[in-house]
Amino acid sequence: MIRFLIKGLYYDKSRSRLPIIVVAIGVMLAVFLNAYITGFMGETVELNARFANGHVKVMTKAYAENESQLPNDLALTEVTALKKELSERFPELDWAARIQFGGLVDVPDENGETLSQGPTTGMGIDLLSSESMEIERLNIRESIVRGRMVQQPGEALLAEEFSRKLGVNPGDEFTLISTTMHGSMSLYNFKLAGTLSFGNEAMDRGSIIVDIEDARTALDMDDAAGILLGIFDTGFYDDERALEIAYTFNAGMDDEDEYAPVMKSLTQQSGMGQLVEVTEKWSVYIIAIFIVAMALVLWNAGLLGGLRRYGEFGVRLAMGEEKDHLYRTLIYESVFIGLTGSIIGTALGLFAASLLQGDGIDITGMMEGSAMLYPSAIRTRITPTDYYIGFIPGLLSTIVGTMLAGLGIYKRKTSQLFKELEA
C-alpha cells in the first residue's frame, strides 16, 4: 500500500510538487534564519561581552548598584591581588581591569586658551603591558582611522568623529578634566596618538581610550579599577559555567560589606539576560511561526488537491477501503512529502547559511544611530541544531495541513462522497 501511495505521489506531480516546494522553502528559511539568529545574537552577546560586560564582571557591590553613573569613588581596590586570586581560582578566564570614567576634553589653542571642549566617556584599559589581550579584544588596531596606537604613557585615542568635532589631530595635546576617586577635580594632559572608529554608534560618539595606568594616575586610583572583566579563553559565552563561577566567587564574600567585590555573569547584567534568553527561545518562535504559516498554505493546497481527488476517494471507498484507512493514507503521503521537503529544505538552508558564515554581508550603514553594540555584518553560525530543526516545521506543518484538509472527506458520509464522485 505504501508503495502504491508513493507511486501516486510520483506519477501525479501536482499532488507532490507544490507541497514539497512549499515545505522545502519554509524549511530552508527556518534553517537559514536559525543559523542567522544564532550568529547574530551570539555575536551581539560577544560584542557586548568584550566592550562592556565581560563573560563575568567583578565590581564592588556599591559600584554595581550605581554602575551607569561610573562611580569611581566606589571602585575596587588592591586590584593586583584580586586579579591574581581570580586567575588562580578560575584559570579558564582571562581577567582584565578597566576604569570607566566621565569627563570633559579640553583642546587649547597655541596660547593655551580653550579652543574647543566636549563631554566624553572614557575607558582606561591595559594597552601597554605585553600580556594584555585587550587590544585584540576590542579590535583597536583595526579600528584606527588616523594616527597610530598608543605606544607610551601619556598618549590617548579619541573617537574619530569626536576628534573632528573638537578639531584635534594626532600629535596635538589636550586636557582631560575629570574627578578623582576621592572627589576632587583632576586635570591631566594627553597627547593624541590616533583616532578610532569602532563602527558602532555607542562607542563612536564621544569616547576616549587611554592606558589604565594613565587613568589611575589621572583619577588618583592607585591599584584600583572600576570593573574587572573575565572572558572565557574559548571566546564563547557559556551561561551555565559563568553562573557557577559567579556563584562560587560570591559565596565567599561578606554580604554586609558595601565595598566587597561581587561577580555577575553576563546574563545577570542589564538587558543581557533577556538577550541570551531570547537567543535561546528564538528557534522556538521561528519554528512556531513556520509551522503555522506553512500549515495554512498546505491546508489550502490540500483542500484544492483533495477536490481534484474526490473521484479517487469515492472509488476507493466503493472498493471497500475504510474511511479511516483512506484518511491515514493521506497522512502517510504527507509524512513522505514532509520528509522529502525537509531534506531538500535543510540542505538548501545549510548551503545558504554556509555562504554567510565567516565574512558575511556588511551592514554597517544599516546600524547607524543604534545605541546597542550590534555586529556590523550579517553572519550566520551553523550549529548542530540546524541539521534537524527544519524537520519540525516541515513534518508538523504537512501533517497538520493534511489532517485539516482531509477532515472534510472524513466527515462526509460515504454515500454523499459517492454522489459527488458520480456528478
Binding site for another protein (CB under 8 A): 1, 4, 7-8, 11-12, 15, 311-312, 314-323, 414-415, 418, 421-422
Asked if 399 and 334 touch (Cβ cutoff 8 Å), the reply is yes
Q: What is the phi-psi region of residue 375: left when phi exceeds 0, alpha when psi lies from -120 to 50, beta otherwise?
A: beta
Nearest-approach distance from CB 6 to another protein, in angstroms: 12
Asked if 114 and 106 touch (Cβ cutoff 8 Å), the reply is yes
Nearest-approach distance from CB 5 to another protein, in angstroms: 10
> Which one-letter DSSP state was computed for residue 373?
-
- Beta-carbon contacts of 157 under 8 Å, excluding residues fewer than 6 positions away, are 140, 144, 147, 149, 150, 192, 193, 194, 195, 196, 208, 209, 210
Nearest-approach distance from CB 417 to another protein, in angstroms: 9
Q: Scan for cell 589581550, then name that residue.
A: 133
Asked if 25 and 345 touch (Cβ cutoff 8 Å), the reply is yes
The C-alpha cell of 69 is what? 553613573
With CA atoms as reference, report the closest residue to 349 among 389, 379, 376: 389
Q: Tell me how far CA of residue 291 lies from CA of 149, 331, 336, 392, in angstroms.
A: 52, 16, 17, 8
Q: Scan for cell 539576560, then name that residue.
A: 273
CA dist 310 and 312 (Å) reads 5
Q: Give whichever of 303 and 421 is closer to another protein, judged by the CB atom.
A: 421
Nearest-approach distance from CB 419 to another protein, in angstroms: 9
Q: Give whichever of 166 and 417 is closer to another protein, judged by the CB atom.
A: 417
Nearest-approach distance from CB 324 to another protein, in angstroms: 8
Q: What is the DSSP string of 142-192?
A: HHEEEE----STTEEEEEHHHHHHHT--TT-EEEEEEE-TTS-EEEEEEEE
Nearest-approach distance from CB 395 to another protein, in angstroms: 24
Q: Give whichever of 108 and 311 is closer to another protein, judged by the CB atom.
A: 311
Q: Tell me how far CA of residue 188 lies from CA of 67, 97, 370, in angstroms.
A: 24, 21, 31
Q: Give whichever of 368 and 422 is closer to another protein, judged by the CB atom.
A: 422
Q: Give whichever of 63 and 336 is closer to another protein, judged by the CB atom.
A: 336
Q: Give whichever of 8 and 102 is closer to another protein, judged by the CB atom.
A: 8
Hey, how many other C-beta atoms are within 10 angstroms of the C-beta on 117? 14
CA dist 194 and 108 (Å) reads 18
Q: Give whichever of 1 and 278 is closer to another protein, judged by the CB atom.
A: 1
Q: Give whichever of 14 and 114 is closer to another protein, judged by the CB atom.
A: 14
Q: Tell me how far CA of residue 68 lies from CA of 25, 102, 374, in angstroms.
A: 46, 11, 20
Nearest-approach distance from CB 315 to another protein, in angstroms: 4
Nearest-approach distance from CB 39 to another protein, in angstroms: 44
Q: Give whichever of 5 and 177 is closer to another protein, judged by the CB atom.
A: 5
Burial (0-12, 13-18, 19+ Cβ within 10 Å), 10: exposed
With CA atoms as reference, report the closest residue to 235 among 84, 384, 33, 45: 45
Nearest-approach distance from CB 311 to another protein, in angstroms: 6
Nearest-approach distance from CB 414 to another protein, in angstroms: 6
User: CA angle 346-349-350, nearest 5°?
Assistant: 85
Q: Give whichever of 106 and 312 is closer to another protein, judged by the CB atom.
A: 312
Nearest-approach distance from CB 401 to another protein, in angstroms: 21
Q: Give whichever of 11 and 358 is closer to another protein, judged by the CB atom.
A: 11
Asked if 229 and 95 touch (Cβ cutoff 8 Å), the reply is yes
CA dist 1 and 399 (Å) reads 19
